[in-house]
Amino acid sequence: DALASLTEKAHGSLTGVGETDHHSNVNDPAAGEKSALGGTSGTPGAANKFVTDADPRNTNARTPAAHDHAGETLNPDVVNVGDLGFKNGFRLTEDEKYGVVMVSPSGRKFRMVKC
């Protein structure tokens, strides 16, 4: 049958059909990219974005500089409420005289009292 005769023919023996008629190398990886795919760093650059453990771009590891995490960012004892706003326009802020107050959208302050 016709299908059997086609499958028996070698790929290159099809009349009038060459390799370039159905394949283009335009999207094939470059040599450096192929090396990087194999687990090496290959040729780093704009054309080769692959990074592996052996890539020289991963060098110059250094110990982080000592720094302090004290203050309102990570200290639960200190909270800056001046930036706490609500969808209705009210906000909580700190007042020198009254402590924590609620401020209306028009600017009127409401003291927080113990219930």
Name the band, by pLDDT with cuts 50, 70 and 90, for residue 100.
Answer: confident
Domain presence at residue 6: no
Query: Does some domain include residue 14?
Result: no
Q: For residue 43, tell me if it sits in a domain.
A: yes
Which helix or strand (DSSP H or E) is residue 106 part of? none
- Angstrom distance (rounded) from CA 54 to CA 35: 12
Residue 70 lies in a domain: no
83 and 54, same structural domain? no
The residue with tokens 């450096």 is: 32
pTM for the predicted model, two decimal places: 0.31
DSSP symbol at 105: T
Boundaries of domain holding 41: 24-58
Residue 71 has a pLDDT of 52
How many folded domains does the chain comprise? 2
Asked if 84 and 111 sit in the same domain, the reply is yes
Question: Does any domain span residue 46?
Answer: yes
Distance CA 77, CA 46 (A): 48
Helix (H/G/I), strand (E/B), else coil: 24: coil
| Helix, strand, or coil (residue 26) | coil
- pLDDT one-digit tens code per residue, 45-88: 666 666 666 666 677 778 888 876 655 555 566 665 556 889 99
